[in-house]
Amino acid sequence: MPGVLVTGTSSGFGLHTVVELARRGRRVYATMRDLGRRGALDSAIADAGVASRVDLVRLDVTDPDSIASGVGEVLAGAGGHLDAVVHNAGVAVGGAFEDVPEAEARRVMETNFWGVLRLTRALLPSFRAQRHGRIVIVSSNSAYAGEPANSIYVASKWAIEGFAESLPFEVGPFGIEVVLVEPGSYKTEIWGSSPRILPEKSAYATMMRHLEKVIDEKVLASARDPREVAKVIADAIDASRPRFRYPVGPDAWIGHVARGKLPTRLQRFLVSRLLGLHRVRP
């Protein structure tokens, strides 16, 4: 069965997606920036009995040379025919916008936005030649509305959704489909691995400390099993006629239904109440 390239597979959604796709009989090209972090994936595919269907390839979506060599290696292994790509690699940074260093903001955009564009551009010639290909982009319910102390990550997801909505006009005639998977809150390593920027004398210190407590005690406590998202990604690849959007999880579905229907001021009011920000004063 034709292969699927998945980015960001050392943990989280990417790792579970590799396992799920391989269980369904797919040939999976699992890519990651640092193959030294392959241990968790190696264990997962061994436990699932699918290691023979998985090839690990180094690919850093922020490095054009790495994309070129990684895509070349994958296409060579796949005999020049790849069924789909899952753009899963993603990073985040928490903090009030004024406090977040530009280097951190650019790091997020380079991975979450430009990385998707670079890898898509590298794969489009082969997808066009075979008149088939599915581009699955792991977005987020953060693309539905603004969020406090998360403006850079939200911006990256809004940007990639605009790209995803526009690209089908160009690639659709070649049989290429674009799909967005939009998870809500799930237990992945991004929560612990993302920097939280809080300078000692920040004007936003009171709000940030409040938000850290709320996120750790409420949001993470209710976060769901990431294998749910992996199954939806695999379903989107297996579907004969996939939907364009796949919200995943209760909070994502609520945001999806409310998207564009609530005035922005009302959205801000509801989010502030939900997070208790109306009780916080600088």
Q: Give pLDDT tens digits for 173-224.
A: 999 999 999 999 888 877 677 889 999 899 999 999 998 888 777 666 778 9
Residues above pLDDT 70, as percent of the chain: 98
19: pLDDT strictly greater than 80: yes
Instruction: Sketch the domain layout of the chain as residue ranges.
Output: 3-201+225-261
Tokens of 51: 């290691």
- The residues annotated with a catalytic role in the active site are 153
The whole-number pLDDT of residue 1 equals 60
The span from the CA of 7 to the CA of 60, in Å, is: 9
Options 3.40.50.300, 3.90.1310.10, 1.10.3720.10, 3.40.50.720; which CATH number does 3-201+225-261 get? 3.40.50.720
The pLDDT score that the predictor gives to residue 276 is 86
**How many Cα atoms within 13 Å fall on the side-chain side of residue 277?**
17
d(CA 252, CA 264): 18
Give pLDDT tens digits for 242-258: 999 999 999 899 889 88
Closest CA to 85 of 131, 28, 135, 21: 135
Q: How far is CA 20 from CA 174, 226, 229, 250, 266, in A?
A: 28, 11, 10, 22, 39
Residue 113 DSSP code: I
**Which residues fall within 8 angstroms of residue 134, CB to CB, at 6 or more apart?**
83, 84, 85, 176, 177, 178, 179, 236, 237, 242
